[in-house]
Amino acid sequence: MSATRRRRFPTLRVLQLLGGLCGFGAGVALLVRARFGLDPWDVLSQGIARELHVEMGWVVDAVGAVVLMAWVPLRQRPGFGTLCNVVVIGLVANAVLSALPAPHSLVFRVAALAGGIFLIGTSSGLYIGAGFGPGPRDGLMTGIAARGHSIRVVRTALELSVLIVGWAIGGSVGVGTLLYAATIGPIVHTSLRRFHHGGGDIPAVGTEAVGTQAADLSAGR
């Protein structure tokens, strides 16, 4: 690789990271506007936002920051992408929600649901593939799993817990939640294979490879 290409490559990776995070935030907003239910972590964020009467994006970022603090006792180290994740996704979600009115037509709601899931999955592959570190929620999962627990069990326990709490305080759970759970893994898997910046093997997140654990890693947050 030439010196010029080496200098440019980090810039391309940063653009890939930011593009993925912005796309993720836009996808979250589409799921909210579709009104068919959200993914577990956003069910929690939406429930908290409704309780506090604040914009959901601020809660998305706040939850990410709180989860990131839980990395300290687990001895996890955040990367540049981890820190950007905490800031960018919620800001973009707020901006898109402000600009995008809620559709009333069932056709447009279904389109928003499908588009949101696809955008989140593809954007996850973009930002994870940039190689700047996992999102706060995945870092929590892999940090706990590294202490001798199954990554599948840890992921399931975390997501069920936040889903139940979020639903109890008013977050939206519905057919969109189930569709998200069923489809997000394969979309992320495909996206990672396409956008992994280094070529070759899919990068590992924590103790297991993303390529073989896409369904567990869900959206990579």
Tell me the two tokens of residue 126: 């973009």
List all residues 6 or more positions away from 76 whose beta carbon is below 8 Å from its beta carbon: 139, 140, 142, 143
In the chain, where the domains are located: 3-217
Quote the DSSP letter at residue 205: E
Rounded-to-integer distance, Cα 47 and Cα 149, Å:
29
Q: What is d(CA 174, CA 206) in angstroms, rounded to the nearest whole number?
A: 30
| pLDDT, block means (10 residues), the chain with 221 residues | 52 93 97 96 97 97 95 89 95 97 94 97 92 90 87 89 96 96 90 72 40 44 70
- Angstrom distance (rounded) from CA 121 to CA 13: 18
For 107, how many CA atoms within 13 A lie in the half-sphere containing its CB?
A: 0
Torsion sign over Cα 89, 92, 94, 99: negative
Question: What spatial distance separates the first Cα and last Cα of the chain, rounded to whole Å?
Answer: 32
Distance between CA atoms of residues 52 and 49, nearest Å: 5
State the Cα–Cα distance between residues 126 and 196, nearest whole angstrom.
Answer: 7
Return the pLDDT at 136: 93
Cα distances from 86 to residues 28, 69, 94, 201, in angstroms, run 14, 11, 14, 27
Whether the CB-CB separation of 131 and 16 falls below 8 Å is answered with no
Contact 121, 219 (CB under 8 A): yes
pLDDT tens, residue by residue, 190-202: 998 888 765 444 4
Residue 16 CA to its chain's centroid (Å): 15
- How many other CB atoms sit within 10 Å of the CB of residue 56? 23
State phi, psi for 42 to the nearest 5 degrees.
-80, -25
